[in-house]
Amino acid sequence: MTQPTSGGDVRLTGISKTYGSFTAVHPLDLHIPAGSFFALLGASGCGKTTTLRMIAGLEDPTTGTVQLAGEDITVLPPHKRPVNTVFQSYALFPHLDIFENVAFGLRRRGVKSVKKQVEEMLELVQLGDFARRKPQQLSGGQQQRVAVARALINHPRVLLLDEPLGALDLKLRRQMQLELKRIQTEVGITFIHVTHDQEEAMTMADTVAVMNGGRVEQLGAPAELYENPGTTFVANFLGTSNLIEAEITDKSGGDLVLSAAGGKLALPADRCGAPVRTGGKLLVGVRPEKITLAHAEDAGSVPEGRNRITGRIVDSSFIGVSTQYLITTPDCPEITVYEQNIERDARLVPGAEVVLHWNPAHTFGLDAAQDID
Ligand code: ATP
């Protein structure tokens, strides 16, 4: 339907940004494949917007180069780059209707017949029936879709999205995440999306770069980052990690044997991001939904080969899709467990003594020398 445009890959080489004595982005090397949906994820102030603005040409890098589809665009002004940006503030023209807002980029380039292209673009963002409305007659989500259509009309090779859903309420945000993903799949160009919302990054992107303090801390597919975080920052930023202090007691087998939380745990050696030596300290983590609970009196029914520790329920709350338990265990912080499909009557109550057990393959090990953020 829309005129085909191929996405370009973006290569950042040694790119950095310093403001006076403050370094917002440390020298960064990043390759963003053509046609991918890439997310820069991190807390406020970590440098993600600055990185995006350097790709857009809105910020001059202090060092390094930006390449798009093999061409060095580091010194090219923003309007000469085959790139467009969608901001959180939709910045639509209030006096123009939706059709003219979307047509704006074409008219500015002197394109005479805009009708077909604008109509196709409005179809793409499912606003075909809204062409003659003014922006203020649309909902926040619809206005955001107009902003996307307006950014795509000139067929950029890369679309940059700077917290584009930040002003929307949670439900609409979730809908728009799927909508943006659909649009990206349909147009096939490269999307680079900045967000501080880990669920948003995980839902939409095929690759996520987690930024912290002006650096990329880890890069990977969402599931890979979630299941095998490389640092405590990433483990804690992406969901709940349940980090427990542990010591390596045996490294002679395929799995490392650890002493932790008053018991013995197994950790596959290839899931250990800490130096492996007997007596070495590390942090082991397991995600809340990977843990199963059994009453202490049923401990005998826990299958062989599972990691297990004992604990006591301190809180149990129904959170819609699952029940969330907070559990104290010997010598470690509270552990969070999510269990699904529990009948109301079967829910464990505070004070209950339990065995927490999980598949060792779902355990990950991190360097204890890192700070827990
Ligand atoms: P947010 O989600 O809040 O937008 P961010 O991760 O996008 O945060 P940046 O906007 O990239 O962060 O800013 C990174 C750091 O650089 C921040 O500490 C910010 O205060 C600083 N910074 C950004 N622009 C400037 C500027 N023009 N002058 C001085 N410092 C700046």
For residue 60, how far is its CA from the centre of ligand 1 (angstroms)? 14
- 63-68 vs 71-72, strand pairing mode: antiparallel
Nearest to 140 by CA among 107, 104, 176, 109: 176
**Which residue's alpha carbon is nearest to atom 18 within ligand 1?**
45
Q: Taking the model in full, what pTM does it have?
A: 0.89
Mutate to test the pocket of ligand 1, among 12, 16, 41, 49 (most ligand atoms within 8 A of CB): 49
- How would residue 106 be classed by pLDDT, with cut points 50, 70 and 90? very high
Which one-letter amino acid corresponds to residue 329? T
> Higher pLDDT residue, 318 or 313?
313
Structure tokens at 269: 């050696």
**Which residue's alpha carbon is nearest to atom 19 within ligand 1?**
45
| CA 184 centroid distance within chain | 16
Q: Which CATH class is domain 238-367?
A: mainly beta
Domain boundaries, the chain: 10-227, 238-367
Distance from C-alpha of 102 to C-alpha of 57, rounded to nearest angstrom: 22
DSSP string computed for 183-238? HHHHH--EEEEEES-HHHHHHH-SEEEEEETTEEEEEE-HHHHHHS-SSHHHHHHS
| CA 227 centroid distance within chain | 13
**Which residue's alpha carbon is nearest to atom 26 within ligand 1?**
19
Question: For position 370, what pLDDT does the model report?
Answer: 66
> Higher pLDDT residue, 11 or 251?
11
**Which residue's alpha carbon is nearest to atom 25 within ligand 1?**
19
ipTM: 0.94
For residue 63, how far is its CA from the centre of ligand 1 (angstroms)? 17
pLDDT tens-digit map of 14-70: 999 999 999 999 999 999 999 999 999 999 999 999 999 999 999 999 999 999 999
**Which residue's alpha carbon is nearest to atom 20 within ligand 1?**
45
* Burial call 242-269: b when 16+ CB within 10 Å, e when fewer: bbbbbebeebeeebbbbebbeeebbbee
Cross-strand pairs, 325: 316, 337
For residue 61, how far is its CA from the centre of ligand 1 (angstroms)? 14
Distance from C-alpha of 207 to C-alpha of 218, rounded to nearest angstrom: 10
The architecture CATH gives domain 10-227: 3-Layer(aba) Sandwich (3.40)
Residues with CB under 6 A from ligand 1: 19, 22, 24, 42, 44-50, 196
**Which residue's alpha carbon is nearest to atom 9 within ligand 1?**
47
Task: State mean pLDDT over 116-143.
Answer: 93
- Tell whether the torsion through CA atoms of 327, 170, 52 and 120 is positive or negative: positive
For residue 24, how far is its CA from the centre of ligand 1 (angstroms)? 6
pLDDT tens-digit map of 139-194: 888 999 999 999 999 899 999 999 988 878 888 889 889 989 999 999 999 999 99
Residue 4 pLDDT more than 80? no
Structure tokens at 62: 């202090």
**Closest ligand 1 atom to 50 CA:** 11
Helices marked H in the chain — which ranges?
48-56, 98-108, 115-124, 140-152, 170-187, 198-204, 222-227, 232-237
